Amino acid sequence: MDYLTVEEAIHAPGLRLVLTAGVPGPWGEAAKAMLSYKGLAYTPVRQMGGEVNEALQTWTGQNSAPVLVPESGPSVSHWMDLLLQCEELAPAKPLLPRDVDQRAMVLGLSALLAGVNGFAWNRRLQMFAPAMRLESPPEVVARMAYKYGWSEAACAQAPARMREICDALDSRLQKQEQVDSGYLVGASVTAVDFYWANFAGMIKPLAHADNPMPSYMRETYQARDRELLDCVTPRLQAHRDMMYQHHITLPLDF
């Protein structure tokens, strides 16, 4: 994928999406998949994972990715703001149900996956652990660990939190089987299906042909621990596979 620098992107026309360049960042991949599903074209902009990203900070008021920057109006970097902005931009292919109860369910489950202390957040804390236990953790990891609240105590709670969330998603899918739906909420695809499909890769990444991620990253993402692997239940794995088969283009391009 070709990226503009932040400096180049500031004056570029159209929708811009800031992404961690060269890696399939889970929040970024979820955003890309939802934008593509909606048929929204964007110009990719480079963020460097764990770096200071000073120009990005000045431009958008924060230095993580993804950030969606519309042609006019403020940028959005929180997962829910980004989703709501996509809904505004392309309402014809909704990722949030019209029904309020179902919409609340999609947003709530998405928060459990993408939000602070959610599934991906906790998995990321685990990923920082080996480097953070070194006498001198590398600066890029230390910077992210600080930013995302790493501590031994938070890390120790991660497996139970992840398990609880995966169990809730698995029982959703089980209920959905009774109404003949393969989606987590309702009868058609929603944002939470995209989040799960993308975040499942933080435990079981897709094969190299579909996800040619750098090998150091694959090493970090691929879980070895049985407890963690069991989070991706057979139902959750089948759901992820269905999403890539029907709604997300492969191979991933980053």
Ligand X SMILES: N[C@@H](CCC(=O)N[C@@H](CS)C(=O)NCC(=O)O)C(=O)O
Is residue 114 close enough to count as binding ligand X by CB under 6 A? yes
Among 44, 49, 118, 186, binds ligand X (CB under 6 A): 49
What is the 8-class DSSP label of residue 196?
Answer: H
Closest contact distance (angstroms) between CB of 122 and ligand X is: 12
Is residue 194 close enough to count as binding ligand X by CB under 6 A? no
Axis crossing angle, helix 79-89 with helix 100-114, rounded to the nearest 10:
140
d(Cα 213, Cα 108) in Å, to the nearest integer? Answer: 30
- The residue number with the shortest CB distance to ligand X is 79
Is residue 59 close enough to count as binding ligand X by CB under 6 A? no
Closest contact distance (angstroms) between CB of 29 and ligand X is: 10
**Residue 248 backbone phi and psi in degrees, to 5:** -130, 125
Please list, residue by residue across 205-240, b when 16 or more beta carbons sit within 10 angstroms of its beta carbon and e when fewer do: bbeeeebebeeebeebbebeeeebeebbbebbeebb
Question: What is the footprint of ligand X within residues 6-25 (CB under 6 A)?
Answer: 20, 25
Closest contact distance (angstroms) between CB of 239 and ligand X is: 22
x/- site string to ligand X, residues 130 to 149, per CB under 6 A?
Answer: --------------x--x--
Give the nearer residue to ligand X in terms of CB position, either 15 or 111. Answer: 111
Please list, residue by residue across 38-75, b when 16 or more beta carbons sit within 10 angstroms of its beta carbon and e when fewer do: bebebbbbbbebbeebebbeebbeebbbbbbbeeeeeb
Give the nearer residue to ligand X in terms of CB position, either 124 or 239. Answer: 124
Is residue 201 close enough to count as binding ligand X by CB under 6 A? no
x/- site string to ligand X, residues 65 to 104, per CB under 6 A?
Answer: x-----------xxx-------------------------
Strand order through the sheet with 43-47: 43-47, 16-20, 67-69
Give the nearer residue to ligand X in terms of CB position, either 53 or 176. Answer: 53
Beta strands in the chain (DSSP E): 16-20, 43-47, 67-69
Closest contact distance (angstroms) between CB of 235 and ligand X is: 26
Q: Which residues bind ligand X (CB under 6 A)?
A: 20, 25, 27, 49-50, 64-65, 77-79, 114, 124, 144, 147
